[in-house]
Every structure is written in C-alpha cells, then in structure tokens.
Amino acid sequence: MSNTRGISFSNIDAEWKLALDPENIFWSLLPRSNGEFMLPDDLISLYKKEHEHLDTEMRNFRFNEPLNCVYIDPTDRCNANCPYCYIPSKIRKHGKQMTWEQLDAALSKIADHFKGAKKKPVIVFHAAEPLLVKDILFQAIREYHGKMLFGIQTNSLLLEKKDVTFMKQYRVGVGISLDAATAAVNNRSRVSVTGGGNFKKAVQALDWFKGYEGLNVIATVSKYNVNKLSELVKFLHRKKVPCVLLNPVRLTQKRSWGLKPDDMVYAKNLMKAVETAMELTQKTGRQIVIGNFTNVILAIISPTARRMMCDISPCGGGRTFLTVTADGEMVPCGEFIGFKEFSGGNIFRTSIDKAMNSKPFKQIRERMVEKIDECDTCDFRHICGSPCPAEMYARGNMYKKAEFCEFYKEIIRQAFKMIAEDKVKYLLRKDSMDQMVMEYQY
Amino acid sequence: MNKANKAEKKTKAAISFHMKCAKTANGLTHFVMYGDVPKKKMPL
C-alpha cells in the first residue's frame, strides 16, 4: 500500500509557493529565490517533529469538540421577506411562536444539559425574526444570564432604543442584518413585508449601538450587492462597527438559486473589501474586521481557534451547535428547518443527549470531505470544509462539493498571500494576539 | 531592480508558524461574536 500522507506543493503567486500537509494544516510559504523555490531541510525536520501533534489536534477538533451553542428560533414568523431566506415562506407567514412557558422549559433543559460544564453555553436567538417575541427573549436573558451567554440576530425592524440599552447592559452579542451601504441596494434583498426594506432601521440600530463591542453586521452576499462590499465596509467603519460578516447566500431554498454571485467576482470583491478594511484600520487606528475572512486566516494559523463552524468538516451542525425551532424540534442547524426528516426529536419531550445521538444528527456528522469527490484530494479540504450539507441536500446530493468551491479556493490562496506579506496583525482583533500562544515558528 | 527591492528579496525567507489559543475557542475575541462579548468595555 502506498503512503498518501505528506506535503503537497501549490502556487500562491509568482513569488510564493505553498507547502502544505492538507491533513493537519502544517504549512510553509516558500519564497522564490534565484528563480527557484526550496524547501529547507530544517523545515522538513520541523514537520517531522510536529505532524503527530497536529494530527491529534485536528482529529480532536473535528470529532471531539462538545456541543457549546444552541440556536433558538423562538418564532417561525418574520416581518421581512428576503428572497434568499432558508425558511420556507409558508412557515414564516403562519409559523408558530413560543410562549414564555415553552421558552422557559427549553432553556431549563439546556441549563440542565450543561450543568457542571466548564464553559457557559451560548444561546443565540435567531431566524426568523426573534424580536417579534422580544418580551419573552428579554425575560429569558434576565433569568438565565448567570448560566448562559446570549446573542440575538435581528433585522432590527422592531428594535427600540431601550432594547439596545438592555442588550448592552446584559452584554448580549448582536448581529444586525444589512446587505449594502445604500437603501437602494440593501432593500432589494432585505425586503420588509410592509414594503421597502430594513435599511433605515438597521442604520438607526448601528447609531444606537455606537461601536458596542458585541455588535456585528451580517451581510448576505448575492448578485445584488456583490460589487458593493467595499462601500459597505467603508460605511460600517464610519458607523464604528467592529466586525462584519460578508457571508455567501445559501442556496437552500429554490428561490435563492438565481441570486448566487459568480465565485470569482465574489472572491475579487471580498478581497477588495478586506483591503479596504485594512487601509481604514491603518489610517484611523480603529479596526474593522471581516469576520468570515478572519476565520480563514485562523483556519490556517490556528485551526482550533476558528469561530465559524460552517468551514470545517464535519460542520458544526448537530455537533458543536444545534437549532431548536419554534415548535421545539431540534435540528442540526437552522438551514434544515424546512426538512422535517432531520429532526432529532422535540426538546419538550426528548433529551438533548438523545437528539445528539439521533440518526439525522449522526447523518450530518458523517458528511465529511473524505467522502466527497474532489474534496477528498483537495489541499484545502480542512480549511474550507466544503459547506454546506443542508444546501447540498436541497440541491439533490449532500455528498457533492461546496457550491462556492472556486470562491473558497481563491480566498484561501489570498489568505496565504496575506500571511506571507505579514498582514495578519490587521486581520485579527488587536487584543486577540494576547490570547494566542505560539506553538512553533520557523 | 532598485536597492530597496534587492534588500527585500534578500530578506525573504520561508515562513511557517502555528498558534494555539490560550483561552478556549468559546472565549475568543479575534472577532466578537455571539457569546464573546467581554464583560468590561474595550477601547475601540
């Protein structure tokens, strides 16, 4: 049997070549020297010394990370009608809403599940629009904040100034949905059911939060806004937003399929946005981070420190996080809300442990890059993770490579280039390096 | 090639490093996400 493990080589640009063990992300950037690229023998020694430890680290990160986050959709209803929403429109119009008693019961069960755990679990109130039931959300935060950390993802249409004061007081993480720096572009995709869009309210929310440390903006990148990402970064920087995610539109519902931006156009514009963020950070001393690109950087320099669990295989769905829908069903991730066959049980009747060990959850955990054609031999398989299983299931086959495969390949190459150019310090938050320990450095 | 470029070429060397988070991933502030909001205010 031949040994398939080892270091592979690929081009980053004319000046840099990448040497990488795709299995454990041991990497080295090799500069052109006298027209040649050379792998020094002491670097080979370093690889031999570290590769077993890196194998273990990657294995543990992929298969032994515990559940640490529960998304709760306290209502299936929404006051918006975004054309790419992954929740079927029928559910959003007539869906259920949790009562306080139900939300309390769900949180109580979650608290019991995490009793004795070293870390507090993270609870994120998410889609459809959680602020439709804000009274019970805020009651939950007041009652459970000693046991849990909270986040709220909102289109901000119902946000009031007093809500912002409350969220700041309880150190709630907040994600505001905003797709563009102008109403004309934003309101094409962030459509409210009463007409118009959320632009005005989202901008008002940013002004109210005024640089709050827990503030994020989440933009869904589609054909509509793909050419406007850099402008969005400039706008958000002026509004003192510390972090923005420029996430790809998920093609989980058919109506979103026509909105997919071209992979290379998206990659080019994302990198332009990253450059803009770096320039603004250097010029003003106030940082804005493109979270999804930073996650790629982390996947390379510190794989276990990455935060977004879509870009790892198996993904975090049904593994490090799960979603509780408004009627109590536990699904591996919110993207599966339209697929009843992926329910691992109902939180009002079933234990979280039982859901985690259910067949549908195992099915998602078993979806790995090793079983996907092309991904199985791709050098970047443990950096991108080939998202997303729900999206690919909706498109007919979960075991197909990522819809945005070429996009991921390009931004990963660009991430290596930025590491070679010593730009990491502009891409991570200033204080984050204090939390990092250098394990080895060539 | 000017002198500055020549100097840059000479100093280029292979790069490789690996970091670990001193805190666990759940407490990271590389970018603040849900659940990561620091208790105290941070300078912007």
Contacting residues of B for A26, CB less than 8 Å apart:
16, 18
Lowest mean pLDDT among A187-191, A276-280, A305-309, B9-13: B9-13
Q: How many helices (H) and strands (E) does chain B have?
A: 1, 1
Instruction: Map residue A260 onto helix, strand or coil.
Output: coil
Q: Give the position of tokens 């054309």.
A: A83
* Helical axes A263-284 vs A229-238, angle rounded to 10°: 30
Give the C-alpha distances (Å, rounded to integers) separating A300 from A27, A29, A413, B7.
8, 12, 11, 28
Short-list A212, A220, A266, A274, CA closest to A241: A212
**DSSP H helices in A357-420:** 359-365, 381-384, 389-394, 405-420
Query: In Å, what is the CA distance from A373 to each residue of A368, A369, A370, A388?
Result: 11, 8, 8, 15
Which B residues 1-40 touch A at CB under 8 Å?
9, 12-39
To the nearest whole Å, the CA of B5 is away from the closest chain A CA by 13
Write out chain A residues lying below 8 Å of B22, CB-based.
Answer: 435-437
Whether residue B25 and residue A54 make contact (CB cut-off 8 A), yes or no, is no
Residue A274 to residues A246, A331, A398, A405, A418: CA-CA distances in angstroms?
10, 34, 31, 20, 10
Question: Are A429 and B34 in contact (CB < 8 Å)?
Answer: no
How confident is the model over A392-416, as pLDDT tens digits?
999 999 999 999 999 999 999 999 9
Going by the DSSP 8-state scheme, the letter that residue A56 receives in this structure is H
Is B13–A31 a contact, with Cβ atoms under 8 angstroms apart?
A: yes
| Nearest to A267, CA basis, from A406, A430, A370 | A406
Partners of A46 on chain B (C-beta within 8 Å) are 16
Say which range, A51-55, A81-85, A262-266, has the weakest mean pLDDT: A81-85
A344 or A87, greater pLDDT? A344
Encode pLDDT of B10-44 as tens digits: 568 999 999 987 665 543 334 455 555 666 654 33
Model confidence at B3, pLDDT cuts 50, 70, 90, reads low
pLDDT of residue B27: 39
- Dihedral sign, CA of A50, A52, A58, A60? negative
Rg (CA), chain A: 22
Contact call for A216 and B39, based on CB within 8 A: no
pLDDT at A2: 61
Give SS3 for A37. Answer: strand
By C-alpha distance, the chain B residue nearest A284 is B44
Other CB atoms within 10 Å distance of the CB of residue A336: 27
Look at A298 and B12 and tell me if their CB atoms are within 8 Å: no
Give yes or no for a contact between A137 and A174, defined as CB atoms under 8 angstroms apart: no
Structure tokens at A46: 């370093």
Identify the CA nearest to A290 among candidates A313, A311, A304, A272.
A272
Helical (H) or strand (E) element with B3: helix B3-11
**How confident is the model at residue B29, as a pLDDT?**
39
What is the residue type of A147? K
Average of per-residue pLDDT across A13-20: 96
Q: B38: which chain A residues are within 8 Å (Cβ-Cβ)?
A: 171, 213
pLDDT, tens digit, for every residue of A105-118? 999 999 999 999 98
Taking the C-alpha atoms of residue B44 and residue B36, their distance in angstroms, rounded to an integer, is 16
Chain A residues whose CB is inside 8 A of the B41 CB are: 213
Check residue A22 and give its pLDDT.
96
Q: Average pLDDT of A2-24?
A: 91
Q: Report CB contact under 8 Å: A54, B18.
A: yes
Residues of chain A contacting residue B7, judged by C-beta atoms under 8 Å apart: none
Residue A40 confidence (pLDDT) above 90: yes
Adjacent-strand bridge partners of B15: A29
| Contact (CB<8Å) B30/A69 | no
Give the separation between CA B10 and CA A53, rounded to whole angstroms: 33
Amino acid B10: pLDDT: 53
- Tell me what pLDDT residue A120 has: 87
pLDDT in tens, A258-293: 999 999 999 999 999 999 999 999 999 999 999 999
pLDDT for residue A210: 94
Token pair in block for residue A328: 């109590």
CB count in 10 Å sphere of residue A354 = 13
Contacts of B21 in chain A (CB under 8 A): 302, 304-305, 435-437
Size of the A and B interface in Cβ pairs below 8 Å: 155
Looking at the DSSP bridge assignments, the partners of residue A32 are: A37
* Cα(A195)–Cα(B34) distance, integer angstroms: 30
Please state, in angstroms and rounded to a whole number, the distance separating the CA atoms of residues A284 and A240.
11
More confident residue, A33 or A110: A110
Alpha carbon distance, N-terminus to C-terminus of chain A: 33
On the question of pLDDT at B5 being above 70, the answer is no
Distance from CA of B8 to the nearest CA of A (A): 11
Place of tokens 């602020």: A131
Helices (H), A182-290: 183-189, 199-209, 229-238, 263-284
First to last CA, chain B: 41
- Nearest CA-CA distance, residue B42 and chain A, Å: 7
Distance CA(A136)–CA(A132), nearest Å, equals: 10
Q: Of A348, A350, A355, A351, whose CA–CA distance to A333 is shortest?
A: A355
For residue A348, give the 3-state DSSP assignment: coil
pLDDT of residue A88: 82
Distance CA A222, CA A256 (A): 9
User: Best residue in A43, A45, A68, A432 to probe B by mutation, most B CBs within 10 Å?
Assistant: A432
Mean pLDDT of chain A, nearest integer: 93
In this structure, the strands spanning A330-331 and A321-324 are antiparallel
pLDDT of amino acid B31: 45
Map residue B29 onto helix, strand or coil. coil
CA gap A340, A342 in Å, rounded:
5
The answer to whether B20 contacts A439, with C-beta atoms less than 8 Å apart, is yes
Among all residues of chain A, which has the CA nearest to that of B25? A305
In this predicted model, what pLDDT tens digit does every residue of A193-206 receive, in sequence order?
A: 988 999 999 999 99
Q: Which helix (H) or strand (E) holds A55?
A: helix A41-63
| Minimal-distance CA residue of chain B relative to A61 | B25
